[in-house]
Structure 1
Amino acid sequence: MMLPIKMVFGLIAVALTLAACSPLRAINALTPASTYIKTADVPYGARPRQKLDVYTPAGTKSPAPVVVFFYGGSWNSGERPDYEFAAEALASRGMVAILPDYRLYPEVRYPDFLIDSAQAVSWAAKEASRYGGDPKRLFVMGHSAGAYNAAMVALDKRWLGQFGMAPEILRGWIGLAGPYNFLPIQNPDVKPVFFHPNTPPESQPVNHVAKSAPPALLIAPQSDDLVNPARNTGRLAQVLRENDVPVTEIYFDRVNHITLVGSLSRPLRHFAPTLDAITRFVEKESAQAKDPA
């Protein structure tokens, strides 16, 4: 006997909660491929993990906003094919989605994955127009550890500066359940990544907010056992407001740390309007982009 569709979705959500990344490919199997044109395995650097996939909205007739999405995994795990559902979600709303891989521990530690992240964003700024994107409407986004990467690229000038650019190239950035203020480190998987107990304070996004920072959309679960939302999302939003940086701060109560990103997928979208919030933010900030001189 077939299970009711709501029960199927519920089982997927439970699987996500219990096993993190492994069920993502099951969600991808339920994700349509008709909304995008995929260009895979594009190198943005010379190393094996410095590759990305580009998802161009199907039928796009004009340059579209560009969103570079970084996945999470405690800087220990993750690969871009697992997050095809996230790229499809963005492409279905008219955005060019770019999904990079980046080097992970133990191959590298902080800050090398930030160098990779900035290199991928600089690639997008230079090359997105070849894939239907508008580099003047460039956003960076991430979930969990990926949200940290996005935050540091958007807030800390050191990383894009290595590629002759600055955070001002971004129209905005989006963080989903990100760790932005996590010292002292509690997660044993993360401690060696950041040289615990000698983690440098400059590793924290909250310490890099300036008045020139791009607008932010910060989304988190009301309850999160992995990344404390008040300490991280709430504190960063407070510091952004204190520096007069536009910030939208949203908390959802039907998702957890894992199912928040899962709610971008079609099967789990009823759990939280995450994609709607992202779409509104991108459309609003894109509308304020300056026309070419």
Structure 2
Amino acid sequence: MLLGLVAPAQAQVGTWWQRNEWSVAQEHAATHVSERVVAAVSAAARVRPRHGRVVVACMDGEWHALPPRIVAEVLRLDGWEVTFLGASVPAAHLVSYLHRHDPRAVALACALPMRLPQAARMVDACRRTEVPIIVGGRGFGPDGRWAARLGVPWAADANAAAALLADDRALDRLLVADRPQAPVSGEYTALAADRADLVAHCFAQLEAAVPQMAGYTTAQRDATLTDLGHIVDTLAAAVFVDDAALFGDFHEWLGEVLTSRGVPLYTVDIAFRALAERLRDFPVAHRILRDREGK
């Protein structure tokens, strides 16, 4: 039921929100129903643990908690003793928990690629506990390509996670395998430090080029600032893993979302040009932005 019904239904809810066919309120209501179904399955299924303890948690700043909760429940049904720590777990708190309880493994979830830099920091922190790490979620790419950049195994779904955890020798190899540190570049660090200024610059350029913004409500202005923040964060994540495809995928997704809400796409072009203008001395970011012109 969890993988055959709840997960596909929740994916459909996300599609309806993306197409603006459902409001945020409807999406939240549907998610609550899905959470109750997961809780009901958990209460009804009596399974005696026959494996060790696994900790499942969302990356710091990651609030999409339902998919990892489904993973946690599938692992429990598979015989693991599972502790689900929920959404947005601070790295320091997770590390403290791992030290205290010494689980067999920790599974970390990331739904949005823009959170990859935070995911990398969390992975590096968990490595110091000597607890094997697996990761999952769309934030690592549809094929887990960005998990590979961080040197951690990626599970496409709950069944794949269960298969990874079932291989004791593979888990033990994770502790002695080469474990590359997160590929932090000076360009990424500077982008992250300049985030607020970059968002403010893009907003000012939009106000100057789009007269209609003078009549924006507070909610509309806040939504625009949020979108600009997502653009900057995703660009920084693409620089972080040195993969323009990350930003290209986001650009296509953003275009679909804005079109469904009646926002003209030329506003995105204005924001991209404003960023490219400010980031002339950032070769990777500048190239990524120029590659998206006219697309």
Which interval holds the TM-score relative to the shorter structure?
A: 0.3 to 0.5
Flag the structure with more relative contact order, 1 or 2, with Cα contacts below 8 A and sequence separation at least 6: 1
Higher helix residue share? 2
Structure number, greater radius of gyration? 2
TM-score normalised to structure 1 length:
0.41
TM-score normalised to structure 2 length:
0.40
